[in-house]
Structure 1
């Protein structure tokens, strides 16, 4: 281990080496490099471990691989294990299918503030472009360039502003967006001590809304949030969501309703059992 990192970045993954490799390349391009990557691996086969071990030599940052046995979709549980392993006071959370733009870590670092968490966004790419993106495209940051993306089949839309906005326009869009600054699993950050104070994620929650519920307990703790979805940019690679089911979504909505009604800060189903 080098000196204590300024930031820990938790990346969740599950049997998705091709996408994870692109994401790790993205973090190697960061302008601010005093961070560690903590991979929250929800039971991937050995290929993921091999990929990580092979990449360690090339990575300009330390990688901590946190893994548990595959027991179905247990993302909340592996995220809690990853939170405990974070060596920095400040944590960014993102996913193994989100490639960060080179200023991603620097922007989270610049906007971090005691008493707040940060809420970023993502830019969804279609499958053909997700596949197409090469190591060189990431090194040259082409995959964040609207012209390059439209040349490769991306449709024109207002959402493309996410990638091209800068300066005043970026600030204005952050301000005007109707999207509330919630805790998003693909792009959010906060202080480790705040996350520990609320006992992390509720492990009863499977797919759908467990990130939002964590944010709702942070709000109940008195933490506020800041919107940076037009500043902290990740491109989201496409993938099928085989684990999405209505039953799990309904169960999670019920848990969130209780959190809200009882103004809950702590979950009994979190880091500390």
Structure 2
């Protein structure tokens, strides 16, 4: 049962120039058992192909398109602009390449509690299956069925246990998994007021740990994290990462070390420039 019936829920989806994957993700949000009150697409400078796709889906979903010009990897900046555009009480953060299972929003709402943020995970698909998934596979839920995926050539491993839809099993796995309940940009959620208190994401950061630093500040402020990696399920579509940059990653590491050492709760380089 959803004990947060009165709260409004928004989904923040980051995107950059991949309308094919974004469309599959949006199809997942059309099939949710609990609908989003708003879907804010944080667009880091995509071309008109993405804009046209979003316009088409805006007739089916409550989309707010937040865009800025392409000037390199500026995900943290566009996320802060998306947060400023949001009005929902509770925000779920994810990416353009993550198809949500039909109970995704419902699960985040069910586990939402004051003083906590939620940490989900994902099930990564190989490129061939990522390409082949159709709108009907998403709408019917077949894309999340392990037997169906194996018939498409998926190699089974322990990670396939994430797709087991059994509440006793998922609760057990959430409890015993060695993975830390950190802030994961593709699948995490928190109250918007707590994001504002932390001043959003640190805009100095580029690709590589920029999401984790935000979660570390939430923890420094006294918040706790809760593990839901086996309950809130996403299919992660395969893709390249041409923006990966070791120099930027090392800068990010230095910022995270400083956040940890000073127990910083609020960034000066966030939504409000201080």
TM bracket, shorter-chain basis: over 0.9
Segments of 4+ in structure 1 off by > 6 A? Answer: none
Secondary structure at 2:73 match in 1: coil
Structure 1 residues 111-138: Cα deviation after superposition (integer angstroms, max 9, x where no partner)? 0000000000000000000000000000
Distance in 1 separating the partners of 2:184 and 2:49: 27
For residue 162 of structure 1, what is the aligned residue in structure 2?
162
Distance in 2 separating the partners of 1:84 and 1:164: 36
Distance in 2 separating the partners of 1:8 and 1:21: 18
Alignment of 1:136-155 (within 5 A): 136-155=136-155
Structure 1 residues 216-263: Cα deviation after superposition (integer angstroms, max 9, x where no partner)? 000011110100000000000000000011111111000000000000
Structure-2 change in CA distance of 1:166 and 1:136 (3 Å):
same
Structure 1 residues 188-225: Cα deviation after superposition (integer angstroms, max 9, x where no partner)? 00011111101100001000101100000000111101
**Is 1:188 paired with 2:195?**
no
Match of 2:53 among 48, 51, 65: 51
Contact 1:14/1:41, CA 8 A, preserved across alignment: yes
Per-residue deviation at 1:109?
0.3
Secondary structure at 1:70 match in 2: coil
Structure 1 residues 35-78: Cα deviation after superposition (integer angstroms, max 9, x where no partner)? 21100000000111100111222x2x310000000000000000
Distance in 1 separating the partners of 2:43 and 2:7: 21
Per-residue deviation at 1:165?
4.2
Distance in 2 separating the partners of 1:216 and 1:140: 38
For residue 41 of structure 1, what is the aligned residue in structure 2?
43
For residue 24 of structure 1, what is the aligned residue in structure 2?
26
Per-residue deviation at 1:166?
1.4
Structure 1 residues 69-106: Cα deviation after superposition (integer angstroms, max 9, x where no partner)? 00000000000000111110100000000000000000
Distance in 1 separating the partners of 2:142 and 2:37: 24
**Is 1:8 paired with 2:10?**
yes
Alignment of 1:209-220 (within 5 A): 209-220=209-220
Distance in 1 separating the partners of 2:58 and 2:193: 28
Secondary structure at 1:265 match in 2: coil
Distance in 2 separating the partners of 1:164 and 1:137: 18
For residue 64 of structure 2, what is the aligned residue in structure 1?
64
Distance in 2 separating the partners of 1:131 and 1:35: 29
Distance in 2 separating the partners of 1:233 and 1:177: 15
**Is 1:100 paired with 2:97?**
no
Structure-2 change in CA distance of 1:108 and 1:226 (3 Å):
same
**Is 1:235 paired with 2:230?**
no
Structure-2 change in CA distance of 1:235 and 1:34 (3 Å):
closer
Contact 1:119/1:188, CA 8 A, preserved across alignment: yes
Secondary structure at 1:182 match in 2: coil
Per-residue deviation at 1:5?
7.6
Distance in 1 separating the partners of 2:148 and 2:245: 35
Contact 2:7/2:90, CA 8 A, preserved across alignment: no
Structure-2 change in CA distance of 1:73 and 1:34 (3 Å):
closer
Per-residue deviation at 1:34?
4.2
Q: TM-score, normalised by structure 1?
A: 0.97
Structure 2 gap ranges (5+):
1-5
RMSD, matched Cα: 1.0
Secondary structure at 1:26 match in 2: helix
